[in-house]
Amino acid sequence: MEGAELELERRSKFLSSLIQKKKAKEQQEHNDQFNVRVRASDMPLALQNRAFRCARDHLDAMPGKLDSKRLALALKKEFDTAYGPAWHCIVGTSFGSYVTHSIGGFLYFQIDKVYVLLFKTTVEPLDRL
């Protein structure tokens, strides 16, 4: 019986890896549509896609030069409205950062030649301080 269980485990891992590869390929094709490259993330794909779409729409609406503050504000407002408060956004072509974020609330990506860091933190009520 042990041999059969090992074989089932092996096949299960193989199928899981195939599914993961297919999802990764589909996500990469979707990212190519927006000209996006994810640098680091622990954010669910649906939220990532919303960030990409929002960033792409705002970049396309900007005539000429990049307005980093405007793009950062647009992404922050979009995510604060849709997913609750305490979203933060940093946009630029060159910056360093080291942040603490809520689980499932971190995305660092490049769109065209612009880098975007979008992350969520928890908010503590004032009476608890």
- pLDDT per residue of the chain (129 residues) written in tens, 0 to 9: 687 888 888 888 887 777 776 666 666 655 667 689 999 999 999 999 999 999 999 999 988 889 999 999 999 999 999 999 999 999 999 999 999 999 999 999 999 999 999 999 998 877 765
- Record the pTM: 0.75
Per-residue CA distances from 36 to 13, 30, 52, 56 (Å): 30, 9, 7, 9
What per-residue confidence (pLDDT) applies to 126?
78
Span 36-128 CATH architecture: 2-Layer Sandwich (3.30)
The alpha helices in the chain, defined as continuous H runs, are 2-34, 45-61, 68-83
In the chain, the amino acid numbered 114 is: V
What per-residue confidence (pLDDT) applies to 39?
95
Q: Which residue has the tokens 């019986």?
A: 1
